[in-house]
Homo-oligomer: A and B are copies of this chain.
Amino acid sequence: MTRSITIADLARQLGAPFGGNGDLCVMRACEPRDAGAGDLALAMDPRFADSLKEGGARAAVLWADADWQSLGLEAAILVGRGRLAMAGITAAFDAGIGLEDGIHPSAVIHPTAHIGAGATIGPLVVIGAHAKLGARAMIAPQVSIGSGVQIGDDALIHAGAKIAARAHIGDRVIIQAGAVIGSDGFSFVTVERSHVEQARETLGASVDAQGQAWQRIASIGGVVIGDDVEIGANVTIDQGTIRPTRIGHGSKLDNQVHIGHNVIVGAHCLLCGQVGVAGSTVIGDYVVMAGQAGAADNITIGSGAIIGAGSGVLSNVPKGRSMMGYPAVAMQTHIDMYKALRRLPRALAKLSRKDS
C-alpha cells in the first residue's frame, strides 16, 4: 500500500528544482511534525519552517527560495505554488484503490457488453447488455453499469456506484462510491390543472394539489457527462425527460450533490457538498456553488457566477455575479442587508424611546 520514490524523480514529475541528495527515497508525504526519516515533509510556506524541526524528516518540499540546508535537511524540492505542487505530490504517493488486475470471475458481464483493453473490473460488478467501456477502465466492486451505457477511456468508478441505462460518460471521468447516475426525474402532473402550475410563478417550486393523485412523467432522456468530470460520493443525477441531463467537461461535483432532470451544467464548474439544482435549470461555465447552496428549477446561472454557501438561488443570475443569501442577492447587497439587520434591534429600541 506504500510507494517509494526518489527526490530527483519526484522533482522531475513536479517540474521543480531540487537540492541535496536526489537519490534519497521517500515513502510517504506528511505534515512536517508527523514526518519520520523515510517521509517527505510538506512545508511549502515559511510559517511551517519551525514545525520541520519538531519532526524527523530528512527531505521536504519547500517554498521557492527556501534555504533548505539551514533547516537541517538532506534534500529538498523547491516549488513556487504550493497548492499546485500538492496535485503532483499526492498523485505520486497515491496507492490506488487496491483492485487486482483483470476481470474478477464474480463480475456479471453481459455477453454483448464491450470492455476496452486493459480494464480492471472488481468483484460482483454488473455490466448490462450492449454497455461499452473504454480502455483502462477501473471498476471497483459492486458497481452497476446499465444496458447501453457508454463510458470513455480511463474511467475510475468507485464501489457501489450505479449508472442507469442510456448514460453516456466521457474520458477520464471519476465517479465516487454510491453515486447514482440516471435516476428518474421528479416530474409529476395532475389530470386537471392544479394549484401547482399557478404557484410556479411565486417563489420556489410551491405547489398545492388537494384532491388529485400524481401521474408520473417518465424520464427517458438519459444523462451525458463530459470528459474529466468528477462525481462525488452518493451524488444523484436524474435523467432528462426527453433530452439528456448534461454535465460539461471538467466540472466537479462534490459528495451528495443533487442534479435534477434536464439540468445543464456547463464546463469547469465546482458544485460543492450537498448542493442541489432543481429541474431544467441551466448553469454556465466556471460557475462555483459553495456547500449546501441550492438553485430553483427553470432558471439560468451565468458563466463565472459564484453562489455562496447555503444560499438559495430563486431567479436568474447574470454572468460573473457573486450571490449570497436566501433568496440569493448580489454579495454586496447581502452584506448591506445583513449589517443593517445586525444594527436593527438597537435602531428599533431607539425609535420606540423617541416615540414614548
User: Residue A19 at the B interface, CB < 8 A?
Assistant: no
Q: Is the CB of B104 within 8 A of A108?
A: yes
Q: Is the CB of B326 within 8 A of A205?
A: no
Q: Which residues of B contact A84 (CB under 8 A)?
A: 189-191, 215
Q: Is the CB of B183 within 8 A of A180?
A: no
CB distance from A262 to the nearest CB of B (A): 10
User: Residue A59 at the B interface, CB < 8 A?
Assistant: no
User: Residue A120 at the B interface, CB < 8 A?
Assistant: no
A209-B270, A236-B255 given. 17 additional CB < 8 A pairs? A1-B147, A31-B243, A91-B216, A98-B129, A98-B148, A126-B159, A140-B144, A142-B144, A177-B180, A178-B236, A196-B288, A204-B291, A204-B310, A236-B256, A326-B326, A327-B338, A351-B351
Given A126-B142, A260-B273, A242-B160 contact (CB < 8 Å): no
CB distance from A226 to the nearest CB of B (A): 12
User: Residue A241 at the B interface, CB < 8 A?
Assistant: yes
Q: Could you give 20 example pairs across A and B, Cβ below 8 Å?
A: A1-B148, A83-B197, A94-B218, A97-B165, A124-B142, A126-B141, A144-B177, A177-B183, A178-B234, A203-B335, A204-B311, A205-B309, A209-B288, A210-B303, A214-B252, A236-B255, A273-B278, A278-B291, A339-B345, A341-B341
User: Residue A25 at the B interface, CB < 8 A?
Assistant: no
Q: Which residues of B contact A274 (CB under 8 A)?
A: 258, 274, 276, 294
Range class of the A interface residue count: 35 or more
Given A98-B146, A124-B108, A209-B268, A331-B189 contact (CB < 8 Å): no
CB distance from A85 to the nearest CB of B (A): 9
In A133-179, the 8 Å CB interface with B consists of: 140-142, 144, 146-148, 158-160, 162, 164-166, 174, 176-178
Name which of A123, A213, A230, A255 has the most chain B CB atoms within 10 A of its CB. A255
Q: Is the CB of B180 within 8 A of A234?
A: yes
Which 8 residue pairs of A and B lie closest in terms of their CB atoms, listed nearest first? Answer: A98-B147, A204-B309, A183-B233, A90-B218, A310-B312, A236-B255, A186-B254, A108-B123
